[in-house]
Amino acid sequence: MKQEGRLLGVLRARYGCLGLSWVMVLCSCQHVTTSRTSDGFRESDIQNGYYSGKVDHQSASFKVDYQNQPKKKALILDFWNDTPVKIESLGRFAGSELRRGLLLTDRVIYPADVKDDLKTEAYVDGEQIKVEQLIREGRRMGVSVALLGRIRKISFRQKGDDVGVFRKKQSLVGTEVEIKVFDVQQGKEILASSKSGETNADHLVVADDQKVESLAFKVELTKLAVREALAGFIPEIVTLIDKMKWQGRIAKIIGPKVFLNAGHQTGLMNGDILTVMSAGEEIFDPQTGASLGRSPGRPKGTLEVIDQMGLDASVAQVHTGSNFAEGDWVQLY
């Protein structure tokens, strides 16, 4: 039979929490058929703005509000697979998928010096997030946003016919994924959200085939379900990022030249005028000791971008003001 051993439908997804249980499933030959590009995305995902935050890229307001705005630097850690289903590299897959999804929105860039093994687990102590450590790392990298993620649940189920030589079966996988987003500049959490993802696949099994479904088959379906859940976070994250004020930093001052940690890749252009702000002061709750954020810095003057250098740095000259220092924040005038 031409269709025997092949999956007939993949990635029919809907959002919602799955009350599914682990069921070992029988399958003769598994192959997932998708219409995705070589990097894992469907053509329709890209063309139809699946990860784009549903923004009309042709509107005049978009061109003014977004295309001329610098991109925010983001730190997105590999996710924590906090489930009994220990699929190797699933956490890295989730982090990579969210990074690529956000890149398609054209709102963020990622620092070049991110460690390959930077994981959410390194910033979790029980149920508590090591916020100070995370914020400190984010500021060291000069990012505006830091994001942690956890895969909280993975469920499997199979249903189908029990009559006949060739029996049609449907395998389902459901996932529950959580994220937390932190404003690095302010030193505080700005979003805690969870989403569910589901995917299923129809296939045929031979009645007397007693082989257990392959691990590779389950891994592939699980990744599709995780990707489906991650897609739901994109509009929320984009909305937050769009509301944040872009900030860069003075990296070095040599004579009359001021070197900035943002340039062409971020979206700064020659002629841009930037306001220079002092770093501000961290404010703590006197009762709990928790950080309440950073107070607004003091305006020191303005700079004009005059040249680009490297992948993402620029050179500016003093426009107004004085007493600028390395580490001062800059933002669009």
pLDDT, tens digit, 9 for 90 and up, residues 303-333:
999 999 988 999 999 999 999 999 898 989 8
- DSSP per position, 212-266: BPPHHHHHHHHHHHHHHHHHTTHHHHHHHHHHSPP-EEEEEEETTEEEES--TTT
**Residue 60 reports pLDDT greater than 60:** no
pTM for the model stands at 0.71
Q: How many CA atoms does the CB half-sphere of 19 hold within 13 Å?
A: 0
**What domains, with CATH codes, occur in the chain?**
43-243 (3.30.160.180), 248-332 (2.40.10.410)
What are 282's strand-pairing partners?
294
> Which stretch of DSSP H or E encloses residue 200?
strand 188-206
Distance CA(168)–CA(182), nearest Å, equals: 46
> Which stretch of DSSP H or E encloses residue 45?
helix 43-47
pLDDT, tens digit, 9 for 90 and up, residues 125-162:
988 899 989 998 998 888 899 999 999 999 998 776 56
